[in-house]
Amino acid sequence: MEVKTKSEHLLALKVMRLTHPILASPMVVTCDSTDLPGNTLNNELKNDCTALQGMEALAIGQFMVLPQSFGNIYLGEIFSSYLCVHNGSNQVVKNVNVKADLQTSTQVIPLSANNLEGKELAPDSTVDEVIHHEVKEIGTHILVCEVSYTNQIGPPLSFRKYFKFQVVKPLDVKTKFYNAESDEVYLEAQIQNLTSGPICLEKVALESSHLFSVTTLNTNDEGESIYGSVNQLDTGCSRQYLYCLKPQSSLLKDPKMMQNATNIGKLDIVWRSNLGERGRLQTSQLQRMAPEYGDLRVIIKNIPLKAHLEEPVNCTCHIINTSERSMELLLSLESNNSVAWCGMSDTTIGTLKPGASMDIPLCFITLDTGIITISGLKLTDTFLKRVYDYDDLAQIFVNQIEKYAYNKDTL
């Protein structure tokens, strides 16, 4: 039986991930000179080459440690790697080609350029290349490096090397949506640091869709961030951001289109690690739950924020027909312990076509103090005899008017 011996290649491939180094800190173990060890521990700490002279007890290193392995890479970071091919033989090698591909669970991404194709390597010569790629998928990644060449005699030769690493989430992003009666949408975003060290958030912005215009609510009156000029986020800590989205005027004119406008936009987050390594994360398209308006939508407009007790308050009732049919509407007003409506009740307000709206001026008198709820409005579709009750239209703060007594003789 003939045994095939494994042939050794003339070329050697070395691959190293390029990343920012970490500081080598000493192991601080110290005690007071009057304790039993005396100055033994302190002297050992002073002799530690990684300790900073004069500040040994602060665990501040003065050396940097190069990465020993590929390790984990965070989503949104730039993956950089150094490829080096060395000819350690005494022969001239021709047609040297180096190919690097990054395999993910969904695709194969070519990373190598054309500057390492068809090279000729003399003995003890080297060719190298640096590859870069912005990581955009979570999970297992495999870097496949293939080297092919021809020697002076024999067929073309080739070999491969594989390097596996994991891509993990650097940030946890949670969102909440609030649909206001004014058709504004409020987005609350909570960002948590999942990395192993502190990061600095350079940018957190909401890129809204073309249907909305966005206003950030995370700055003070001077336009500065409420988190300061350096927004540092420790491991496991979170930041909360609030945005207000106002629909475009064309969207407000079409109730159906407004109800179907669920795409809000996406968050764009840029951060840096403790040694300045940059990362970027962009969420997928954020979607809100479409508000349910039913057949009719009623909005109270032009209502003041506060009023005095037992004084009339004027407002406007904006009614929108969100159904697919025309309605003959009857307006009824029912007073209660908090609000007394002024004017005639059970009034026919006319026909409202699908998608159309109308404004009805209303007036009421407040009967109680504090924050009261405007209720007691009822709409009836006279054709289908269907009744729509609205008991939570708006809220208003009512305080009691101050009364002063005057003496005619002092005036």
Which tens digits make up the pLDDT trace of 292-305?
777 888 888 888 98
Tracing tokens 């924020």 back to the chain, one arrives at: 305
In Å, how far from its chain's centre is CA 128? 38
Q: Which two tokens stand for residue 112?
A: 């190598």
Each residue's pLDDT tens digit, 135-186: 888 889 999 999 988 887 778 888 999 988 889 999 999 999 888 777 788 9
Report the alpha-carbon angle 359-362-363, nearest 5.
160
Helix (H, G, I), strand (E, B), or coil: what is residue 46?
helix
Domains 11-18+69-168 and 183-287 share a fold: yes
Indicate the domain borders of the chain: 11-18+69-168, 26-61, 183-287, 296-399
State phi, psi for 222 to the nearest 5 degrees: -85, 5
Identify residue 314 by its one-letter amino acid code: N
Q: What is the pLDDT of residues 250-260, one digit of tens each?
A: 777 666 777 77
pLDDT beyond 50 at 405: no
Res 103: pLDDT = 92
Pairing relation of β-strands 306-308 and 394-399? Answer: parallel
Question: Is the confidence at residue 404, as pLDDT, over 70?
Answer: no
User: Could you tell me which CATH number the domain at 183-287 has?
Assistant: 2.60.40
User: Is 169 within 8 Å of 73 (Cβ atoms)?
Assistant: no
Instruction: Tell me if 91 sits within 8 A of 152, measured CB to CB.
Output: yes
Contact 162, 144 (CB under 8 A): yes
d(CA 55, CA 9): 51
More confident residue, 61 or 377: 377
Sequence-ordered list of residues with C-beta below 8 angstroms from that of 362, at least 6 positions apart, any chain: 314, 315, 316, 317, 333, 341, 343
Contact between residue 335 and residue 323 where contact means Cβ atoms under 8 Å apart: no
* Mean pLDDT computed over 375-395: 89
Average pLDDT over the chain, rounded to whole? 83
CA-based end-to-end distance of the chain: 130
Q: Is 101 left (phi over 0), alpha (psi -120 to 50) or beta?
A: beta
Superfamily, domain 11-18+69-168 = Immunoglobulins (2.60.40.10)
Question: In whole angstroms, how far apart are CA 124 and each of 11, 90, 92, 154, 156?
Answer: 10, 8, 9, 21, 20
Residue 250 host element (H or E): helix 249-252
H or E segment and range at residue 263: strand 263-273
Give exposure, 111-122, as e/b (b: 16+ Cβ within 10 Å).
bbeeebeebebe
Torsion of CA 65, 71, 75, 79, to 10 degrees: 70
pTM of the model: 0.67
Name the band, by pLDDT with cuts 50, 70 and 90, for residue 402. Answer: low
CA angle, residues 397, 403, 404, in degrees to nearest 5: 150
- pLDDT class for 190, splitting at 50, 70, 90? very high
Query: Is the pLDDT confidence value at 5 over 50?
Result: no
C-alpha–C-alpha distance, residues 326 and 21, integer Å: 70
List Cα–Cα distances, 323 to 28, 256, 262, in angstroms. Answer: 73, 9, 19
Asked whether the predicted pLDDT for residue 48 surpasses 80, the reply is no
Q: Is the pLDDT of residue 233 over 70?
A: yes
- Looking at residue 181, the DSSP 8-state letter turns out to be T
pLDDT in tens, 254-282: 667 777 788 888 999 999 887 778 888 88
pLDDT at site 9: 83
Fold of 296-399: Immunoglobulin-like (2.60.40)
